[in-house]
Amino acid sequence: MAHQSQGHEKIPAESQGSQNTAAKELVVVAIDFGTSFSGYAYSYTHEPSRIYMNKNWGNEVGCALYKTPTCLLLRPDGTLDSFGFEATEKYAEMEEEDCHKEWFYFDRFKLKLHTEVRLDRNIKLVAANGRTKSAMEVFSLAIRHLREHFFARQHNSVSDHDVRWVITVPSIWRDSAKQFMREAAKKAGIRVSSRLVICYEPEAASVFCQRLSPHAFVGNFTAEGTRYLVLDCGGGTVDVTIQQILDNGHLATLHKASGGTWGGITVDRKFEQLLKDICEDEFIEDYKVRHPSDWVGLIRDFELKKRTVKGDSPTMINIRIPNSLREEFQFAREMPMRDACAKCNLGIQWAADKMRLPLLLVTEFFQDSITSIINHVKTLFEEPEHTDIQYIVLVGGFSESPLLQQAVKDAFRDGHQVVIPPEEAGLAIVKGAVLYGHNPTVIQRRVSSMTYGIECVADFTDGVHPDEFKINIAGRDKCKNVFKTFVEAGSSVQIGENVTHRFKAVVPFKHTMQLPVYVSSSKDAKYTTDPDTTPLGKISVSVPGQNDPGKERLVEVRMGFGDTEIHVTAVDLTTGNASLPVNINFLAK
């Protein structure tokens, strides 16, 4: 459906923005849905700074932690059997009894939402045994478990309408991934849209750090006007944002979200590649399918060890190798694994069932990730507007690695202070998300990461528009594929601020006006066919009554980009400024 732009207007932000403080709810519950580990925290509206966390994840396997592995076990009929540590342990037992083949075990699946090029509602996840399941179903079951876990521990003192929910996501996620999480949350039982807030992970950490005592840091980190870089190093992604402290404790984002897939699992993949170098790729890939729980246990064991590795660690790092891996390798290759390791000339030793890796080899596993992180931060600091940033706030699960902490401190020793929250850096995000949920307007300004626009037609002008875009509609020459910009990449946008364009249908339509949304990395996008421009989705505006071919229908579309999600409203100007129903779909195929 072709539509023609009829003008542009920028509407100032309202004083309260588009998200209200948690005034109606009794409690704010934040779910930190991580690539490797997940958990939740909460506080009540009468005492928002007193944050509670479940400290007993893993009791069934002898642990007592604030988070549990992001993994779940589904029965053959697709219903949830167990989550976290319990799922891992049960799947291992099922494998030993050879009754796991019809079940589904999923682990570290969050990254799929970032890496999938064209995300839609029908994407599949591959279970440990090779079976597939709807990603929407898996994500919703995980969120539902965390939601029900919270309610089960409230002993009926809190009902669903008493809760405002917060779900954390990387700030570098695309709009489609954020919409996917919102729809998964709805499927999980969080049905009232206004009771769910999407929170950026580095922003949550920033909010948490601002609520700590100034004495917890060296220098004047929490003073008004301070500008700092938040380096959120998670299991899957590394998220970087730059913020400034405003008056009254408010914050402003000064640079568009950036980062990459340099999180902790990149170190795990180096370890996996070492095993493939020793045993050959095909053998390891087959082993992962034949013994999925043993493989998961091996990687978990390595993950726990890597969190403690530092420059002055013992010269050898012990990793227990499952019996099934050692026995199957010896049967297939007619030699023990220890002999295959010796042939690699990497200094690997063995003690009983443990592979002993030289400290230097393990530290090399970290290098690609650390180098990518440091180079990215250096690039940001080279920009003229960021040369005076003094502080680097290091948060996220991977940031608890002593090797990463020391590498960042060494790289930015001159002129920068690395701030690590006094409590565990991995908990700063979930606790900050609780505080953010009480007052989402604490972040007053953000920076658009992309240029957003709507595809429409315009009156054709010879010498200005490409001839191949000329079309004739109702006897008039028009230019198709026009990119009508709403906001440019790098623009600072106030929370609650809206940009308005007016569109009219140039051909008749019945009840719905379809507005294709495009994004571009360029500030100068002109056409939706430009090389750096891609389709994002569609905005559907319901217009009551059939469009009369002889009657123009003028619709005003307002888009807000200051929050963590895009907000769209529409008004029918033809019939007297009536608000129109709007549907946003960033998950279409």
DSSP for 465-512, written as a single string: S-GGGEEEETTEEEEEEEEEEEE-TT-EEETT-EEEEEEEESS--SSE
- Is residue 415, in this structure, part of any structural domain at all? no
- Whether residue 430 is found in the same domain as residue 458: no
Q: Considering 438, 467, 501, which residue would you say is the last residue of a domain? A: 438
- Is residue 462, in this structure, part of any structural domain at all? yes
User: What is the CA 28 to chain-centroid distance, rounded?
Assistant: 20
- Whether residue 8 is found in the same domain as residue 33: no
- Is residue 195, in this structure, part of any structural domain at all? yes
DSSP structure class, residue 19: S
- Is residue 365, in this structure, part of any structural domain at all? no
Q: Considering 359, 380, 403, which residue would you say is the last residue of a domain? A: 359
CATH code for the domain of 101: 3.30.420.40
Domain count for the chain: 3
- Is residue 384, in this structure, part of any structural domain at all? no
Residue at 385: amino acid letter: E
- Whether residue 185 is found in the same domain as residue 276: no
Instruction: Judge if pTM exceeds 0.95.
Output: no
CATH code for the domain of 506: 2.60.34.10
- Whether residue 269 is found in the same domain as residue 338: yes
- Whether residue 281 is found in the same domain as residue 180: no
Nearest to 504 by CA among 445, 555, 561: 555
- Is residue 246, in this structure, part of any structural domain at all? no
Ramachandran bin of 545, using left for φ above 0, alpha for ψ from -120 to 50, beta for the remaining angles: left
- What is the residue range of 317's domain? 265-359
Cα→Cα distances 396→37, 234, 258, 288, 378, Å = 11, 5, 15, 28, 20
- Whether residue 453 is found in the same domain as residue 579: yes
How long is the chain?
Answer: 589
- Whether residue 313 is found in the same domain as residue 453: no
Distance in angstroms (rounded) separating the CA atoms of residues 120 and 450: 20
Tell the residue number behind the tokens 């403690």, with chain if given: 308
- Whether residue 495 is found in the same domain as residue 512: yes
Cα→Cα distances 562→442, 443, 497, Å = 12, 9, 6
Cα→Cα distances 234→241, 358, 429, 523, Å = 14, 25, 10, 30
Q: Considering 336, 359, 382, which residue would you say is the last residue of a domain? A: 359
Q: What angle do CA 243, 245, 248 make, to 5 degrees?
A: 145
- Is residue 226, in this structure, part of any structural domain at all? no
Cα→Cα distances 434→32, 54, 196, 396, 496, Å = 10, 14, 12, 16, 21
Nearest to 251 by CA among 382, 439, 11, 20: 439
Nearest to 201 by CA among 488, 406, 393: 393
- Whether residue 46 is found in the same domain as residue 156: yes
Residue 356 corresponds to which tokens in the numbers above? 């002993």
Query: Tens-digit pLDDT profile for the chain (589 aa)?
Result: 456 665 556 665 543 334 556 557 899 999 999 998 999 999 999 999 999 998 888 776 666 688 999 999 999 999 999 999 889 888 888 877 777 788 999 999 999 999 888 899 999 999 988 899 999 999 999 999 999 999 998 887 888 889 999 999 999 999 999 999 999 999 999 988 889 999 999 999 999 988 776 666 666 677 888 899 999 999 899 999 999 999 888 999 999 999 999 999 999 999 999 999 999 999 999 998 888 888 888 988 898 888 889 888 778 999 999 999 999 999 998 999 999 999 889 999 998 899 999 999 999 999 999 999 999 999 999 999 888 898 999 998 899 899 999 999 999 988 888 888 766 678 899 999 999 999 999 999 999 999 999 999 999 999 999 999 999 988 899 999 999 999 999 999 999 899 999 988 766 666 788 899 999 999 999 999 999 999 999 999 988 765 555 566 788 999 999 999 999 999 988 877 678 899 999 997 6
DSSP for 66-85, written as a single string: S-EESEEEE-TTS-EEEETH
Residue 506 burial (CB count, 10 A):
18
Residue 216 corresponds to which tokens in the numbers above? 């917890």
Distance in angstroms (rounded) separating the CA atoms of residues 313 and 226: 36
- Whether residue 537 is found in the same domain as residue 468: yes
- Whether residue 201 is found in the same domain as residue 305: no
Distance in angstroms (rounded) separating the CA atoms of residues 394 and 426: 10
- Whether residue 298 is found in the same domain as residue 427: no
- Is residue 237, in this structure, part of any structural domain at all? no
105 burial type by CB count under 10 A (0-12 exposed, 13-18 middle, 19+ buried): buried
Tell the residue number behind the tokens 């990603």, with chain if given: 135
